[in-house]
Structure 1
């Protein structure tokens, strides 16, 4: 995005501070007009002929654009749906793993569809399936809420969960205070081996090594000067 003197077109169509079109100006006159209003000349439609520029404070303009981009991303996430599948006989560990995934999705502003499927004779115990789903919905209540009560459709129980507003939603337990994922704890270094209380000092240890040069054949040689 070009601003002020970085705009290359010799002429530009100018939109005033109040949003009204002011007409076509030479680049120099448009920049002088922006300075007289203590704002910037920002090129907002560079492919138009002539390019369209707006008189606006560039810092505030960037802030507004950033807010619009964030809102657009929220709407994109709102249209996404992730599915979590359960079973009537799911074990506690798998239940917790799937619950964690659902919390991650809701904290990312993504809807979650919870589906519990029955197989064979499990259809005779739909009450157990509803209990599993209700527990899942209850455990995830700090992060999302059901759009409607869980329903039995065919051989499956389904419920759609929507994220709570950010100011009412609990913090993701997998994240730190700054929102970043928690790192794995560092491995603890093994403790040094403890010395035995009755171990003798090194000076009192028996010397199992033979003395130095014990078998040296040169030890019996005389070092004096031979007599003539």
Structure 2
């Protein structure tokens, strides 16, 4: 296992430990305590499962670019993204544990919880999705070839590859988070999703600016 992969694993483990106690207090208390526990095919569970996978790839790509460049600005951004999304991933996996639901739903395709959404539901994704390694579609996900190309890049090229991939990744995540805001029934999860939208939109604007400083543009 490479140093990058070890770092990603450590970040996720720490996030899971950190989020465990907070998860019980947040998703199990307040208004959520009186609400029905989400079912396996609910938007709450679907978003938690799919966004956990989505976040894991962002963490992986962020650690890759931290090893591929010495640029302080990009490395700081990558650290912030990795740290934030590892912690959020831990929270979402913790909610699934709290609800007694599987982290992987073998009988449900990714994004099925957004079915029927003309702006990004399953089967279309409005052009924001890439083919994942397992053949499924999820908005903004980089392909295996994309990640391998990033892993081989160094210096300015690594920065450009990362920023271009992460902008697409964030835009896909924003679409998913907006779907949860509209569909999820657990107040705490909707609040988290709304926070993701605001934070990732801000980071997209920053990454576009960083690309322009490097003479490059975001991918469509």
Give TM-score scaled by structure 2 length.
Answer: 0.23
Higher relative contact order (CA 8 A, sep 6+): 2
Q: Which has the larger radius of gyration?
A: 1
Structure that is richer in strand per residue: 1
Structure that is richer in helix per residue: 2
Give TM-score scaled by structure 1 length.
Answer: 0.23
